[in-house]
């Protein structure tokens, strides 16, 4: 659980599993802007990160966020398995782990869209500060793209969906925890510039 300024020692973080009702209260207050630390221009996006002295706003409606500091060896399937095994199976409908197309090495961040604002809160609380293979994960909002419709609009005509791109390099659309086919493009997709 996060602490309010001047409240003394910080209480241990609560992890959310089945007991959703025992989660800390949402943060309130303005979020601090910061540039998203990404390695690909196509996926460059601004993000916001809540400080340790801010509390979740109960009026928060955003559902799309960035997971940062992921191990560079983590695959998309391994990330999905991690999220599912931590109690969030069928809680999200979009997942994208950007990576180099040839070496298939991830850039160390991913985008996820939760299916509700309450689940977004639970997901953030659970994974912000989560330790994974020597890395400490950090959560930030996606400020350029929010919601499943915007993610579909952003990627359905993107070069990342070109037939020459390996399937494991493409974003995932999900329903009830299972991958589904991405909507067809509305324009001719250009082949991507090579990502080594």
**Residue ranges of the chain with per-residue pLDDT less than 50:** 1-53
84: number of Cβ within 10 Å: 14
Cβ atoms of 161 and 154 within 8 Å: the answer is no
CA distance 91 to 22: 18
Nearest in space to 135 (alpha carbons), one of 39, 67, 60: 67
Report the side by side order of strands in the sheet with 178-180.
Answer: 32-35, 46-49, 138-142, 64-68, 109-114, 92-96, 172-175, 178-180
pLDDT of residue 59: 86
Which domains does the chain show, CATH number per domain? 28-180 (3.30.70.330)
Residue 113, CA distances (Å) to 17, 66, 83, 110 in order: 18, 9, 12, 10
pLDDT of residue 54: 53
């Amino acid at each position: 659980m996060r602490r309010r300024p001047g409240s003394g020692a910080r209480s241990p973080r609560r992890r959310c599993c089945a007991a959703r009702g025992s989660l800390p209260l949402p943060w309130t207050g303005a979020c601090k802007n910061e540039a998203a630390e990404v390695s690909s221009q196509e996926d460059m996006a601004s993000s916001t990160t809540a400080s340790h002295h801010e509390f979740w706003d109960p009026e928060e409606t955003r559902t799309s966020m960035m997971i940062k500091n992921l191990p560079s060896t983590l695959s998309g399937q391994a990330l999905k398995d991690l999220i599912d095994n931590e109690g969030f199976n069928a809680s999200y409908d979009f997942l994208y782990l950007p990576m180099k197309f040839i070496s298939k090495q991830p850039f160390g961040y991913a985008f996820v869209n939760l299916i509700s604002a309450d689940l977004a809160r639970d997901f953030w609380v659970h994974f912000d500060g989560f330790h994974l293979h020597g890395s400490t994960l950090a959560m930030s909002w996606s400020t350029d793209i929010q919601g499943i419709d915007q993610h579909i609009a952003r990627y359905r005509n993107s070069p990342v969906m070109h037939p020459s791109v390996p399937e494991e390099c493409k974003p995932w659309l999900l329903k009830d925890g299972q991958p589904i086919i991405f909507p067809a493009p509305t324009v001719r997709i250009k082949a991507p510039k090579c990502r080594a």
